[in-house]
Amino acid sequence: MRFGFHISISGGLKFVAERAKSLKCDCAQIFSRNPRGWGYAPLKKDDVEEFKQTTKAAGLAPIAIHIPYLPNLASPNNSLYRQSVDALIEELRRAEILGLPWVVTHVGKAMGEPEKDAMKRVTDALIETLSKVPGETVILLENTAGQGSEIGYRFEQISHIIESAAPGKRLGICLDTCHAFAAGYDLATRKGLENSLKELDSLIGLSRLYMLHLNDSKGKLGGRLDRHWHIGEGFIGKDGFRRVINHPILSGLPGVMETPRGEKEDKRNMRAIRALVAKKV
């Protein structure tokens, strides 16, 4: 498995390769712009070329874009919904310009509305986005913990959205281990992991699983608490992660960590995850 982190773009995309290399990353995830606002500046041709050259030279691949924090594709508020769809469209365009394979998005929050209505809004958002941005980049729906009014915490919800929106090639999933555990998928045990993968395969299809977010969980199984924790130090634990990253279905996927940040902590988490590779499971 190729391991990486979400890498800061502070100061510009040209620093991504250097920062990733310092953390011994094989792959990465980035924001393409300020994640805490709606505004953005167009990508400059020179910056795009430098990003492509430096990441290629560093052997950093694959790299995914994660959309900003503010969008909610399930929002019942028409203004926020419109902003959210436009944000996803822009991220898909930017990924195409940068030559990146995936854009990761949270499914959304129902905000008090029925889940079926929220899923319909997400479906409509994906249909519109894919119709407006032709290309090869795939949108990855990230499973949620089910905290608050989040949808997409069950595989059947994600399956329904994908099949309703685009049963073809350009939709897939990014499996977040913390979110899955919090939603009730027991990735901490051998039996639980196997059952979870069987359910994912039967409902969505393993061919749509492109990427992992490797995060331990500070919350208990099924507690719906979205609280990422350091590798091996939460309720999934070292044995759980050892089985996940060495599993024949998962070991060929990229695994990006979104553990609590800091250079010291990142290096500790990278050592922890690499120490679990190829151990007896």
Q: Which residues are catalytic?
A: 36, 66, 69, 106, 142, 176, 179, 213, 226, 228, 258
Rounded alpha-carbon distances, angstroms, from residue 74 to 71, 86, 208: 9, 13, 22
Scan for tokens 């990014």, then name that residue. 174
Separation of alpha carbons 118 and 182, rounded Å: 21
**Are 274 and 257 a contacting pair, CB within 8 Å?**
no
With H, G, I as helix, E, B as strand and everything else as coil, classify residue 18: helix
Handedness of CA 39, 112, 223, 119 (dihedral sign): negative
Nearest to 138 by CA among 168, 160, 182: 168
Scan for tokens 């024949």, then name that residue. 248
Residues 6+ apart with CB under 8 A from 142: 104, 105, 106, 107, 152, 173, 174, 176, 179, 213
Question: Is the previous residue joined to 62 through a cis bond, with omega within 30 degrees of 0?
Answer: yes
